Amino acid sequence: MTPILGESLEDNVRHQISGMIETDSQKRFKTNHPKLTPKQLIKKMRSKGIEFKLISEKDARDRISFNTYYFKVGVYRYNFDKGEDNKYVDLDFAYLDDLAIIDMRLRKILLNMSLDLEHSLKTLLNSVITKNRDEDGYQIVQDFSQKYKFDLNEIYDQYRKNLHYLKPIKDKHSDCTSVWVLLELMSFGDLAKFLEFYYERATILKKKFSYPAKLIRYAKNVRNAAAHNNPILVNLRGRNISPDPKIIQESSKIGLKAELYRNPRINDLLCLFFLHNMYCSQGVKDHLIDELKIFRERCKKNPHYYQKNSHLLDIYEGLNLLIDYYENK
């Protein structure tokens, strides 16, 4: 029997060939979403109901040509409603541009918060493991690698492009890696796994790791979005989840509406703020408060843009309540 095309080929070869064959769905998508020049993008935005009263078309073209790009700005249109004609209602390009700037500043704050939290939790782990007489600092690394089934050399290999920074560490520690070296090299995602792992293992000061073990996976989502420059202030309505009881409790204290803290993205933000407040030093928190005050003032720059958007007003009120909570803790 003659084999059909690709039947006798290795899986990876078949995958490469299938990837070269354009499907009908892909063809339709390309037809409906062609590459457009800035001038064409402006025309497309107008067809969707986006206006250019506060920013001229020329200035908008310059913005998406030299300062940012359409996909980065246009994504914020999902925060606005459409009318019966399927066009956006009361949406000027200036609103999108303003939200993109606010979101960019928020991402920088959130990334710094993530780095603060990562350092503080690694410091705590080092301290507690050092105090634990049941840990020699090496067996825990072997147990962790076996549980998650990864080769410890991968910890070094993931930095191979920057190996000139890590070569002394790799040369000395790769054959017998200690927990203090592992913590120094592991990513935020690996740290989240390690915290969950160590909470189950801990024999002393176990309570210190209760909240990080449960909430770090959500804070990780914020860290990844901020680090990859993904928009934060979109998709902030609907999609109810059941947050951790501690998040519900703290959200109620803050005064957040249930429809906000039950949104996945808001829940992620709350977890990051809560853990940062609990585990970072007072000096670090004071610096964050200064940044949050500056950020809040920037949010007030164009309040008239959003007077008719109850959803964004709720988000702004929620951020204000969260900042107030953090400043007063």
Per-residue pLDDT, 32: 83
Task: Please write the tens of the pLDDT for every residue from 269-298.
Answer: 999 999 999 999 999 999 999 999 999 999
Per-residue confidence (pLDDT) for residue 81, from 0 to 100: 94
pLDDT band, very low/low/confident/very high, at 34 (cuts 50, 70, 90): confident
- Confidence (pLDDT) at 6: 47
pLDDT over 80 (residue 162): no
Helix or strand holding residue 226 (H, E) = helix 210-227
DSSP state for residue 238 in the 8-state scheme: S
pLDDT at 221 over 90: yes
pLDDT value of residue 85: 96
* pLDDT for residue 260 is more than 60: yes
Evaluated on CA atoms 193, 197, 202, 205, the torsion sign reads positive
Residue bearing tokens 């796994």 = 193
pLDDT tens figures, 38-72: 999 999 999 999 999 999 999 999 999 998 888 89
Report the distance separating Cα 329 and Cα 3, nearest Å. 70
Residue 312 or residue 4, greater confidence: 312
Mean of per-residue pLDDT scores for the chain:
89
Mean pLDDT along residues 170-195: 87
Which pLDDT band, with edges at 50, 70 and 90, does 108 fall under?
very high
Judge whether residue 110 has pLDDT over 50. yes
pTM of the predicted model as reported, rounded to 2 decimal places: 0.88
pLDDT above 70 as % of the chain: 89
Burial of 212 (0-12, 13-18, 19+ CB in 10 A): buried
Alpha carbon distances (Å) from 321 to 43, 71, 163, 254, 293: 39, 30, 44, 6, 12
Give the total residue count for the chain.
329
Structure tokens at 163: 């190996």
Taking the C-alpha atoms of residue 267 and residue 263, their distance in angstroms, rounded to an integer, is 6
Q: Are 231 and 76 in contact (CB under 8 A)?
A: yes
Q: What mean pLDDT is predicted for residues 85-114?
A: 97
Q: How confident is the model over 255-280, as a mean pLDDT?
A: 95
Q: Where are the alpha helices (DSSP H) in 75-162?
A: 93-131, 139-147, 153-157
Mean pLDDT value across residues 10-28: 72
